[in-house]
Chains A and B, each alone.
Chain A
Amino acid sequence: MKTAPKGSPDVNQFIFTTKAKEFLAWGRKHALWPLPFGTACCAIEYMAVVGPKYDVSRLGAEVVRFSPRQSDLMIVAGTIVEKMSPILKRIYDQMLEPKWVISMGACATSGGFYRAYHVSQGIDKIIPVDVYIPGCPPTPEAVIQGITQIQEIISKKAKS
């Protein structure tokens, strides 16, 4: 067995080993690029999340992209009505893998208190959802918790 030449540093002090997919997940979860599919009141609250007080860039998720090709986290913020459903589906399909979806607020999750002829009763009929955030609208703290849950999902999936 060869030994390290005298005077050279111990390799174990500055190298750690991991799996490639865990390493990728680590990068991904701290650089989520959200696509805010904002339609209603929740979109205003999402602006507050991005805004100076709550500052979502602390989680690395501040690069808001309106192009589905450039984003990997869809935040559906607001009521989705029947007229919008096919468009939501199309935008989701245009996003590249891997991708995650947050359903922000009661309306996106279940139609909220709009039990009405033109309101879709939950987006999970149309697209898969990873995290539901309750509230009407949810507080910015809740949205931040939702984003951290997406981060957990990403790292857990890489470990499994």
Chain B
Amino acid sequence: MASTSEERLNFINSKLTNTTTPTRSVADGYELATDAKDSFSIIKALKESCGFTWMMDRCGVDHLEDETESKRFEVVTHLYAPDTNERIRIKTFTDEKESVPTLIPLWRGANWFERETWDMYGIEFSGHPDLERILTHHEFQGYPLRKDYNPENYQELSEPLPIHFDDDPSLEDEDPLEANQWINIGPSHPATHGTLRIMAEVNGEIIKRTNLEIGYMHRCFEKMGETHKWNQIIPYTDRLNYCSSAMNNVGYCRAIEQMIGVEVPEAGQALRMILSEFSRIMDHFVCVGTNAVDIGALTTFWYSFAPREKIYELLEEYCGARLTVSLTRVGGMAYDLPEGWLKRAEEAVTYIEKQMKLVDGLLTKNPIWISRTKGVCALDQESSIQYGYTGPLLRATGLNFDLRKVEPYYFYDQVEFDIPIALNGDVYDRYLVRMEEIHQSCRIIRQLLKNFPTGPMSIDDKRITLPKKEDVYNSIEGLMNHFMLVIHDVQVPKGEYYSFTEAANGELGFYCVSNGSGWPTRIRCRGPSFAHYQAFPEMIEGKMIADAVAGLGSINIIAGELDR
């Protein structure tokens, strides 16, 4: 591998031919542009000779309003090279007539990402097996993320999509008594958490094949991102992964701050870390608790919900909301800490640790729990990477990958904590990884509380953060600054950025495009659940229905983040 970035850049460029613009270094990694017809060979070369073996995201952008672009659409692919810890963005220009080659031969996980791009923009992918509606319903007309689609053009659905599978002639000539049956699981079903639909073909209790339908929670986050200003989007980010809202706030605001090129003061960074780790604890407790409920252990749910209430109290004291907190702002935090908050946070950590021991005592060595979860719904490491897995699910397959260690942000390189991994990638291992992560999060919070930095929470720049309330009420300058910022919002420099944080479920990426004003051109959220759920058929086919329920609970699909 090349040592300096200059050499590395030359190395990458030497492996690629036919790029429209050669690879160059940008703020968030490398970037290159291609034509639609050459994009497959270029991305293949990047995967096979340059080490970019993970596909993190693939989405579309509409350049209708930008007259400098000759072609209307752009397919943006983000790749990651785990060995060298580098990221690259491949921009493929296309228009309504030209189709882009699919990446499914390289990554099986590209399937849904491309389907979504087609659903939202109408960009054709040649070689894609089923370009059908994925997030919107099957009677939907038009492509909603195109700039000329009116966000208030509501389209009602008359009938749910009937249960269906692709034709498979090998299944038709069977004895009718032995024939497979079609059953519908969800979306209103206790095990599917209200919004996931699994069409299953079963033989007795064995699932032969499945067809997933998602989009039952598609509430148009990305379209809303284009009709609001940068700071107004923060409440929408709360509702992506609503089990750990604070982490989405942090991830989003960090992306915008990186685009502007500012960093939050130390106290703000430490508080963001504390709130993120508390959110991670909440998220993991919900996952473990509901996973146990789904397979019949109700008691665990009560034990794992009690510490959440403690954290809710802390959040409520800080910002007034329990669940959807919206506690960050671009450039800092919404409020200063109330008096004595840090002490109460310390008490909450002690309580969480105590409560965790109870959950641990109920499950970890429980023979029923073990027999229901060990070896169930495992996914190996190779397939996990194919589908773009990150977070606890990837770590449960034995890969030591955590963005907090690989690419430390804030003070993650200064606090001591370990990354738990497990080996088999089954439901039990996922549970163990999550439980240990709760423990490690407690460790991180304790260290931060001990050395909490003094100073302001937000940067002092009238173009980015709101002035203090006393200034707004008592000085004309403060009043004007407040007015200007509320009316025009933060002016984010023209450009684009892919930012990522380690959220509770894995890599939470925000790809933002700005045209230099207070209104974003494109906000793309790469939710970890979207990648995770796509591999679910691979996990459950050939298994019992009851195992599928255990598996679904363990991958912690949060609909807000899956369908956005």
Which residues of A are at the interface with B, using a C-beta cutoff of 8 A? 36-41, 43-45, 47-48, 51-53, 66, 78-79, 81-87, 90-91, 107, 113-121, 136-137, 139
Contacts and interface: CB of A to CB of B under 8 A. Distances in A.
Contacts of B157: 82-83, 85-86
A137 B220 CA distance: 18
Interface string B198-239: 000000000000000001111110011000000000011011
A37 B186 CA distance: 12
B189 A39 contact: no
B73 to A, nearest CB: 19
B305 interface: yes
Contacts of A51: 301-302, 305-306, 308-309
Interface stretch (B105-113, B147-155, B363-371, B490-498): B147-155
A118 B188 contact: no
Given A81-B219, A117-B154, 8 more contacts: A40-B195, A44-B286, A52-B309, A78-B194, A81-B216, A82-B137, A82-B154, A137-B324
The B contact surface, by secondary structure, is loop
B306 A116 contact: no
A48 B150 CA distance: 37
Contacts of B322: 45, 48, 137, 139
A139 to B, nearest CB: 7
Contacts of B190: 66
19 contacts: A40-B219, A40-B560, A48-B305, A51-B302, A52-B306, A52-B309, A79-B219, A82-B137, A82-B157, A83-B215, A84-B187, A85-B156, A86-B160, A91-B188, A113-B235, A116-B151, A121-B154, A137-B322, A137-B323
A41 B156 contact: no
B158 A118 contact: no
Given A43-B194, A53-B309, A114 B155 contact: no
A114 B219 contact: yes
Contacts of A39: 194-195, 216-217, 559
A48 B308 contact: yes
Contacts of B306: 51-53
Given A81-B219, A85-B157, A87-B160, A40 B152 contact: no
A116 B220 contact: yes
B19 to A, nearest CB: 36
Interface residues of B, number: 51
Contacts of A91: 188
A118 B224 contact: no
A44 B309 contact: no
Contacts of B301: 51
Max count, chain B CB within 10 A of own CB: residue among A78, A107, A118 = A118
B159 interface: yes
Contacts of B135: 118
B136 interface: yes
A141 B489 CA distance: 35
B136 A118 contact: yes
A144 to B, nearest CB: 14
B275 interface: no
B220 A117 contact: yes
B546 to A, nearest CB: 16
B278 interface: no
A76 B154 CA distance: 21
A66 B190 CA distance: 6
A41 B221 CA distance: 14
B323 A44 contact: yes
Nearest to A53: B309
B151 A44 contact: no
B152 A81 contact: no
A116 B323 contact: no
Contacts of B189: 66
A113 B238 CA distance: 12
B316 to A, nearest CB: 9
Contacts of A81: 215-219
Nearest to B290: A47
A72 B314 CA distance: 36
Given A39-B559, A114-B224, A118-B220, A83 B137 contact: yes
